[in-house]
Amino acid sequence: MSTTVLVVEDEQDTAELLTRLLEREGFSVLHAGDGRQARTLIDTIRPPSLILLDMVIPYVSGFELLRVIRRHPDWQLTPIIMLSADDYEPDIQQALREGATAYVTKQKGSAGLLQAVKRFLPATPPQDQIVAQAGSAAPPTRRVSVRHRLQGNQRKERAA
């Protein structure tokens, strides 16, 4: 089983680039397109090996999610790389102060991001990183959006 990275990114092209980049390196990718989807994942799955968290996302900001994750009993130790289109120094310092493991500006390009990812992920993928939703018999998938996951659950509930 490969190492899983949760990408929280609302800009679709950027999310696709990150997914392609990470999958090319052998990582499994979960994608949340906004803060609500990320909250749902945090509440329903086991923590991934790493989180890439965009600062500016709809509904729940990156800072708010950062605080939620750092208070979560299961997720609090998960490395978080904050992503931002800005290099506004107060935001950088606040992110690091509130528990971000690293801060990467998108101007670094995906190569810079990949450097950071490889720094924080273990060399050998852990065997206990289960990305399937708790209670689901379905095998973990390499790339699952929250929307698809929720839709699948709703179909199961209707069928039950």
Partner 1 sequence: MKPILMSSIKNQDKTTDTRLIGEEPMEYTQPKEIGAEGEVLVHIDASFEPLIPKFLTNRKNEVVTMREALTTQDFDTVRKVAHGMKGAGGSYGFDRITDMAAVVEQAAKTGDASTIERDLPALGSYLDRIKVVYE
User: 45: number of CA atoms within 13 Å, CB side?
Assistant: 28
Q: Confirm if 29 and 142 have CB atoms less than 8 A apart.
A: yes
| Residue 115 touches partner 1, criterion: CB under 8 A | yes
101 versus 136: smaller Cβ distance to partner 1:
101
Determine the Cα–Cα distance for residues 22 and 127; give it in Å rounded to an integer.
18
Residue 50 interacting with partner 1 (CB under 8 A): no
**Minimum separation from the CB atom of position 53 to partner 1 (A):** 13
Question: Which of 11, 23, 131 has its CA nearest to residue 62?
Answer: 11
Question: Minimal distance in Å, beta carbon 70 to partner 1?
Answer: 12
Q: Does 20 bind partner 1 (CB under 8 A)?
A: yes
How far apart are alpha carbons 30 and 38 in whole angstroms? 10
Which helix (H) or strand (E) element contains residue 93?
helix 89-97
Query: Nearer Cβ to partner 1, position 15 or 149?
Result: 15
Residues in contact with partner 1 by CB under 8 A are 10-14, 16-18, 20, 24, 54, 56, 79, 83-85, 87, 89, 92, 96, 100-113, 115-116, 119-120
